[in-house]
Structure 1
Amino acid sequence: MDILLYTVMLILGLIGSFFSGLLGIGGAIINYPLLLYVPDWLGVAEFNAQEVSSISMFQVLFASLTGVLAFRKQNDANVIHKSLVLYMGISILIGSLLGGLASRYLPSSTINLVYGILAVIAVILMLIPSKGKTERESQTDIPFNKMIAVASSFLVGVVSGIVGAGGAFILIPIMLTVLKIPTRVTIASSLAIVFISAIGGTIGKIVAGHTPFLPTFFTVIGSILGAPIGSRISKGMNVKVLRYGLVVLISITAVKIWSSIL
């Protein structure tokens, strides 16, 4: 049974990170429902919300680390807005650490509620085209409102730490539309911020003590394999249909979560 469980976890990690790399969104919004329902449906394991959020947090940590290393390899590190990463990174680190620690004391219904809210937000944001500035995209000295940056990233960190997410699908629209950061700089900088967030969230999850380490290990291995494949394929195809298909999938999951809550 253990071999079957680890095989399922590896495949789920691969599938979740594949679509994450393909569509350029945070992996947790896909991974959370996969990890919560599929092992139970297949009869190999039944993870509670605390365990699912912990596994997902580890996935985000390694997926974002892989992305940051890829940017450095492509010599795109100069696109990262260092000041923005400093302000938002420290704030989201504190928020995700607190969220990860708080998840220890939250019932599964509350964590599912937080995911349900995030899923609704994700669907709305995925249906609205993101339009960031295109001018000065090579510059990383762009001014921004530091109070808004710190406050928003802290709040994103708290809720992300609870459900085991990096928060990129919320951070990116905030950076584009509220802070007025150019698109290319936003994408590069958000990746670094999410990695910092994942460090705090992972520490919180370890301290909280809800991490099934062997299933997590195989899920992370699958994630590392899947993300580069999705990223490569995304360069040569139109993913609009897949994106809307994912919207439907997340919507169905959100409905199931909300129906169980209500």
Structure 2
Amino acid sequence: MALLERIVMLFIGLVGSFFSGLLGIGGGIINYPLLLYVPHWFQVTEFTPKEVSSISMFQVFFASLAGVLAFRKQKQSGNSLVHKKLVLVMGGSILFGSLLGGWVSALLPSYLINIIYGMLAIVAVILMLIPNRGSREDNEINDIPFNKWIASVSAFLVGVVSGIVGAGGAFILIPIMLTVLKIPTRVTIASSLAIVFISAAAGIVGKLTADHIPVWATFYAIVGSLIGSPIGSYLSRRISAKGLRIVLALLISLTAIKIWIDILG
């Protein structure tokens, strides 16, 4: 593996995991286009959508793990920002969905995986544009109520499609948690990382059965992830909740535009 390729993979892992910690996403929404285009631009290598999906899933797993550990050290009113009940309900559902999606991805053609990614990005942008009324930032974290059926079903469906494209699914889960379940922004960011970690763990099992894993490229992406995620988590506490929503919506919009340009082109 050439030195430039190692540097590129480290960079991709670092950038994706930085936004993972900052915005509470696993990084798949960012890493998918980065892995698809950046190595090609630098002429170091070129990954197929199935290889991108596999690398991204491993990166998401370690980025979300690093982010969760970083958020555990951050407190709000003396309590962890992670909503434990919400993580248990959505985490259990997304676990089974991601296992199914990871297995299905091996059966799908590459172009269809790109299309699924593009559709997910559009849905996420639409959800992010819906105003988040009734924020409950001052409530006791684990006392914040939510609809368990909506949380469970939505997490399962997100797990299936995110398992296919190699993402943790947080870029869809976060808008759902904010706009449908009415979970406060900072609690959503911290809790979504824990949910994504569960999803990615299941997704990895599915990817191991698919046999589309570039080992060394994946390794260097993971190393970058372990560096970037704690930095993003640290900065997350120093940016306003409104600012975090704007950054996330803009980021998802840009990636959606890029992927659909390529699909339709």
Same fold flag (TM > 0.5)? yes
Secondary structure at the residue paired with 2:106?
helix
Change in Cα spacing, 1:148 to 1:251, as seen in structure 2 (3 Å) is closer
Among 234, 258, 262, the alignment partner of 2:263 is: 258
* TM-score, structure 2 as length reference: 0.86
Give me the whole-angstrom Cα distance separating, in 2, the residues matched to 1:221 and 1:6. Answer: 10
2:212 corresponds in structure 1 to 210
What's the C-alpha RMSD, in Å, of the aligned pairs? 2.6
Secondary structure at the residue paired with 1:105?
coil
1:44 corresponds in structure 2 to 44
The residue correspondences of 1:130-145 to structure 2 (distance < 5 A) are 130-131=132-133, 133-134=135-136, 137-145=139-147
> Is the Cα–Cα contact under 8 Å of residues 121 and 253 in structure 2 kept in the other structure?
no
The residue correspondences of 1:15-30 to structure 2 (distance < 5 A) are 15-30=15-30
2:194 corresponds in structure 1 to 192
Q: In structure 1, what residue type is equivalent to 2:88?
A: L
For residues 177-234 of structure 1, what are the alpha-carbon distances to aligned partners after superposition, in whole Å with 9 as ceiling and x for unaligned?
Answer: 3223344433332221111111101111112111111100101111221223334445
Aligned residue pairs total 260
2:61 corresponds in structure 1 to 61
> Is the Cα–Cα contact under 8 Å of residues 29 and 252 in structure 2 kept in the other structure?
no
Give me the whole-angstrom Cα distance separating, in 2, the residues matched to 1:200 and 1:143. Answer: 27
> Is the Cα–Cα contact under 8 Å of residues 122 and 253 in structure 2 kept in the other structure?
no
Once structures 1 and 2 are overlaid, which stretch shifts more, 215-224 or 175-184? Answer: 175-184
The alpha carbon displacement at 1:144 in A equals: 3.0
> Is the Cα–Cα contact under 8 Å of residues 131 and 183 in structure 1 kept in the other structure?
no
Q: In structure 2, what residue type is equivalent to 1:191?
A: L
Q: In structure 1, what residue type is equivalent to 2:116?
A: V
Give me the whole-angstrom Cα distance separating, in 2, the residues matched to 1:135 and 1:16. Answer: 27
Gaps of 5+ in 2: none
The alpha carbon displacement at 1:124 in A equals: 2.9
The residue correspondences of 1:141-160 to structure 2 (distance < 5 A) are 141-160=143-162
For residues 12-46 of structure 1, what are the alpha-carbon distances to aligned partners after superposition, in whole Å with 9 as ceiling and x for unaligned?
Answer: 21222233444444411111001011112222111
Secondary structure at the residue paired with 2:261?
helix
Q: In structure 1, what residue type is equivalent to 2:48?
A: N
Change in Cα spacing, 1:106 to 1:171, as seen in structure 2 (3 Å) is same
Give me the whole-angstrom Cα distance separating, in 2, the residues matched to 1:118 and 1:148. Answer: 18
Once structures 1 and 2 are overlaid, which stretch shifts more, 21-30 or 45-54? Answer: 21-30
> Is the Cα–Cα contact under 8 Å of residues 91 and 150 in structure 1 kept in the other structure?
yes
Change in Cα spacing, 1:233 to 1:174, as seen in structure 2 (3 Å) is closer
The residue correspondences of 1:1-262 to structure 2 (distance < 5 A) are 2-75=2-75, 78-131=80-133, 133-134=135-136, 137-236=139-238, 246-247=251-252, 249-260=254-265
Give me the whole-angstrom Cα distance separating, in 1, the residues matched to 2:146 and 2:19. Answer: 31
Give me the whole-angstrom Cα distance separating, in 2, the residues matched to 1:235 and 1:59. Answer: 23
Report % sequence identity. Answer: 63
Change in Cα spacing, 1:132 to 1:212, as seen in structure 2 (3 Å) is farther
Give me the whole-angstrom Cα distance separating, in 2, the residues matched to 1:22 and 1:74. Answer: 13
Give me the whole-angstrom Cα distance separating, in 1, the residues matched to 2:50 and 2:38. Answer: 16
Give me the whole-angstrom Cα distance separating, in 2, the residues matched to 1:139 and 1:222. Answer: 31
